[in-house]
Structure 1
Amino acid sequence: MISHIPHDISRIIQQFVNDSKRLLSEHIIGEYLFGSYATDKYSPFSDIDILIIVDKLTPDIRRRMSGLASDYSLEYDICISPVMKDEQVWKRNQQCDTLFYQEVIQNGIPL
C-alpha cells in the first residue's frame, strides 16, 4: 500500500478502510491517512490518523465509526483515530484554508 509504512500497519489501514467502506459505502466521499504515518515520522506508540469525509455526518455514522475504531484497537493493540468531517464542513475548511486542511492536502495520503 504505502512503501514507508511497515507491512503489518499498512495491512491494518487497508482493512480498516475496507471495513469503513462496507459500513458506510453510500456516505463516504473520501478517506485520507494523515499525521505521523503519512509523514513517515511515526514511532511504535503512534496512532493511525484517518480523515473520513462523509456526505452528512450523523450520530449513527459517528457511532459506527467509533465502534469500528474501538474494535481495531482491541484486536490489533493499536489506536486508530478516525476524524469525521461532513462534506460541508470539509468545504469550509478548504475555503478558510485551515491548518488542518493544509496538513491533509500537503501530507495526507488518499486511501
Structure 2
Amino acid sequence: MAAHLIVSTTTDSEESARELAAKAVEASLGACAQIVGPITSVYRWEGEVHTDPEWRVEIKTAQDRVAALVDLLKANHGYDVPEIIATPIEGGSTEYLDWVITETR
C-alpha cells in the first residue's frame, strides 16, 4: 500500500463536513482536509434511488493512520453507512508528502 493516502467521505451538510475535517486534523489522523461542495449524489438506499446534495471531505494522511481515521469518521458520522474510501497517492511533492507524515505523528 502507498505511504500516503486521501481518505474521502461525504456528508449531508457543510457544518458536518467541517466538524469531521476538524476532528481528523485535531487528532493528528490527517495533515489537512479539503471540503468540496455542495455536490449532487445519486444513490440507492433501502431500495429507492435518491438524489441529494452532499459535501465531500478529502483528508490527506499516512498509511499507518488510515485505520484510526476510519474509526474516527465512523464514530462521528451521521450516516448509518458512511462512504469512507482510501485512495493511494502515487506521487507528488516530496516536501508536501513529508509534511503529511510529520503532521500525522
TM-score, normalised relative to structure 2: 0.49
By percentage of residues, which structure has more helix? 1
By percentage of residues, which structure has more strand? 2
TM-score, normalised relative to structure 1: 0.47
